[in-house]
Amino acid sequence: MRKPIVIANWKLNGGLDLICTSVASFIGKHFSAQIAICPPYLYMRDMMTFLQYSELQIGSQNVSRYESGAYTGETSAQMLKQAGCSLCLIGHSERRAMFAENNEGCRIKVRTAINHGLLPVLCVGENQEEREAGTTQQVLHKQMYEGLSGVDLSIGDLCVAYEPVWAIGTGLAATPQIAQDIHQYIRSELAKIFDQKTADRIRILYGGSVNKNNANELLKQKDVDGLLVGGASLDPGHFLAICERASELTA
Ligand code: 13P
């Protein structure tokens, strides 16, 4: 059975106050799901000091494709690992759209993350135009093949997050049925890129307007193994409720 995973992506939001209230709401609580928060880089160390009192993990919203050197503004996988990070998002649609990230770069980042013991979470998803044109599967196919082919999973694991761009920050989450259909397609593609056994163990998260009201139905879908939460994760009580839903389903 795949262990559910819930990840908060704070994007360029939050500060010390949110760190304190978020971590405080998780202290002393037990979860059967894996839970992580991806704060802005600057706050990771602050968050880390509280982690011994909770089961929360820290993730990063990005990772450099480079190991070290003259790459101004970058943060390497090794640095993230040393700082206590467990996982990193790669190829979020906002990075693809606003910071020119491409599939080739994502593949290098996935490899780099695995090599340094971070769990890469490759984000894929179509935009509204692509959806209306009926090209969702082609878009996902390209993102996954170019983002993952040749990646060696014998030394590490991988997650894929399906985040339809039309659902991000719009309040219009994919229906549980749409999520299930696409996740099933993603898993079938993963089986072709790797093999069936590997595809069966890779966790596929859904992201896009997730909240405490729709989390349950989304998580009940056979191929939805977790959630990637943006806006709702900025409210600690709300995020906690989503994490509890994920944990209840595995209990
Ligand atoms: P929202 O939950 O705010 O739609 O954001 C989703 C997202 O982009 C998470 O990475």
Over residues 87-139, the pLDDT tens digits come to 999 999 999 999 999 999 999 999 999 999 999 999 999 999 999 999 999 99
69 C-alpha to ligand 1 centroid (Å) = 32
Which residues lie below 8 Å from residue 180, measured CB to CB, with a gap of 6+?
221, 222, 223, 224
Q: What pTM, to 2 d.p., does this model score?
A: 0.97
Based on the residue annotation, tell me whether 104 is a catalytic residue of this protein. no
Q: Are 120 and 158 in contact (CB under 8 A)?
A: yes
Domain 5-248 superfamily per CATH: Aldolase class I (3.20.20.70)
Q: Are 153 and 194 in contact (CB under 8 A)?
A: yes
Q: What are the tens digits of pLDDT across the range 28-61? A: 899 999 999 999 999 998 898 878 778 899 999 9
| Domains in the chain: boundaries | 5-248
Residue for token pair 């409210």: 235
Pick the atom of ligand 1 nearest to 170's CA: 4
3-state secondary structure (DSSP) of residue 37: strand
Pick the atom of ligand 1 nearest to 228's CA: 9
